[in-house]
Amino acid sequence: MIAGTLLGGCAGPMSKTSKYMNTSFAPPASPPAGKVLVCIQRPKAILESKVYTAIWDGTNLVADLGNGHSVAYVCDPGQHYFMNLSQDSPACVEAQLLPDKTYDLWIANLPIRIKPVRESDMMQPQIADWTSKNHWVTPASSAEAYEQKKQGKIQQLLGEFASGKRHDQLQQMAAEDHR
């Protein structure tokens, strides 16, 4: 079932899919055996509806999310640096991921920042709503050229987050922060 473009409450309109993304199906209920499922969701918001943010796992482009978009990302367990790039300053979540688990990240607006959803987080109850109402996307073939174009900047930022130079923009997600 393809996620529809629904409006919710006082939220603004959903963004068109980025030129680097294709429409996708909703995420699988669980990750493939031995892998990790990371759902990254950007709730619909009144403001910032035309601004996209690129989401990275280290130097790998995961998605370019607009208002009301989500992506299901399958990766290997272990340490990951999930970063977002937008017109605001970059942000990063250092995550320790366990196999066969599902983790959630979300994109906050004003400023646009990637954030972990922890077990006790007040955003936890919103996940089901975002999952059913958001427009799910997956990288298009055009994403490869964009990924290559941004490699220098991404490698620089990754180094700054990993070294602690940008510690004020780095958040932690523990292994036990899964669903």
Do β-strands 36-41 and 102-108 pair in parallel, antiparallel, or remain unpaired? parallel
pTM of the prediction? 0.88
Enumerate the domain spans of the chain. Answer: 21-173
Query: Is pLDDT of 37 > 50?
Result: yes
pLDDT of 86 reads 76
Q: What is the dihedral of CA 112, 22, 62, 126, to 10 degrees?
A: 50
SS3 content of the chain, % helix, strand, coil (to 5): 20, 35, 45
Strand ranges in the chain using DSSP code E only, listed in sequence order:
21-23, 36-41, 53-57, 60-65, 69-75, 78-85, 91-97, 102-108, 113-116, 135-139, 170-173
Residue 128 predicted with pLDDT over 60: yes
Q: What percent of the chain has pLDDT over 70?
A: 89
pLDDT at 158: 94
Distance in angstroms (rounded) separating the CA atoms of residues 19 and 143: 8
Across 129-155, average pLDDT: 95
Residue pair 154/59 in contact by the 8 Å Cβ criterion: yes
Helix or strand run (H / E) with residue 145? helix 143-149
Q: How far is the C-alpha of 51 from the C-alpha of 86, rounded, in Å?
A: 8
Q: In this structure, are residues 53 and 134 in contact, taking their beta carbons and an 8 Å threshold?
A: no
Residue 47: its pLDDT value, please? 62
pLDDT confidence of residue 12: 53
Whole-angstrom distance, CA of residue 92 vs CA of residue 169: 6
pLDDT digits (tens, 9 = 90+) for 66-123: 999 999 999 999 999 999 987 768 899 999 999 999 999 999 987 889 999 998 889 9
